Structure 1
Amino acid sequence: MTFRVAVASTDGKFINQHFGKADKFLVFDIKGPKDFEFVELRENDPSCGIYRAADGKSFTNDTIKLLSDCKVVIVSQIGPGASQKLKNSGTMPLIYPDFIEKALIELSQNLDEFT
């Protein structure tokens, strides 16, 4: 079973982006303990505090849609509203401001907590 994860990072090494301020997400597939691979980089329009004039909805929904195939989104920080929206969409937010590799290894060894 493949487990898809998105990571908010500016440098590709450290999880250092707030969910609402992330302009890109690195996507990884976890295949088993300590077995993961980079899939792609997804560009994002940061959503923090920005609303569309036409319909008044937050860009947060666009970010959630962008990451809809991911089971977990790992960020350095996330607000309670965005966190709840992610959970409601079936994606678990995880605050883990550390090295990406460390986070993926730990997550890959504890997948049963997220399935």
Structure 2
Amino acid sequence: MKLPPNDAGQIKIAIATGNGVGATDHFGYALQFQIWDMSGPQARLLETRRNTPACGADRSEQRRDPLDVSVDLVADCRAVVVAKIGECGINRLNALGILVFETDDTVDAVVRELTGSTLLHGRHAA
């Protein structure tokens, strides 16, 4: 499995959160993703990326699949944390080497759980 690219050794995760407090959003409906750097001893919030939700999007004038837009938005992350995600989203993210986690935990709990996780820091087969 190919790992997503990183910036200066960063290990990034994307958390779909509509309220900034919990992992509240379905991948296809997410309006934003918090991007966290998990590479150091303490996680740090890097940015919030605005998203155009894939589910329910008007496809009549779009040239790209709306799901591709969401996938591209988090393509530099090692993992994506969402409340829910469909099989198509999982398959597209996994094909890029991106792990997917479903939870209804708070952002703080997710970050605490994944800080130092061997899932993020371990090596995947190329």
Q: How far, CA to CA, are the matches of 1:73 and 1:94 in structure 2?
A: 6
Is contact 1:7-1:15 (8 Å) kept?
A: yes
What residue number does 1:113 align with? 119
TM-score using structure 2 length: 0.80
Structure 1 CA distance, aligned partners of 2:103 and 2:27?
12
Paired letter, 2:34 = L
C-alpha deviations, 1:39-97, integer Å up to 9, x for none? 11101100014363357752111111111111101000000111111111221111121
Partner of residue 26, structure 1: 34
2:87 matched to which residue of 1? 80
Q: Among 103, 107, 110, which residue is 1:100 paired with? A: 107
Residue correspondences, number: 113
Gaps of 5+ in 1: none
Match of 1:12 in 2: 20
Q: Equivalents in 2 of 1:49, 1:83: separation in Å? A: 18
Calculate the aligned-residue CA RMSD, in Å. 1.8
Find the aligned partners of 1:57 and 1:12 in 2 and give their Cα distance: 28
Consecutive unaligned residues of structure 2, counting only runs of 5 or more, are 1-8
Q: Give runs of ≥4 in structure 1 deviating > 4 Å.
A: 54-57
The one-letter code of the counterpart of 1:106 is E
How far, CA to CA, are the matches of 2:74 and 2:23 in structure 1?
Answer: 16
| Alignment TM-score, normalising by the size of structure 1 | 0.87
Q: What is the percentage of aligned positions where both structures have the same residue?
A: 27
- Shift in alpha-carbon separation, 1:85–1:49, aligned structure 2, 3 A: farther
Letter in 2 for 1:45: T
Q: Which has the higher strand share?
A: 1
Q: How does 1:49-60 map to 2 (within 5 A)?
A: 49-50=56-57, 52-53=59-60, 57-60=64-67
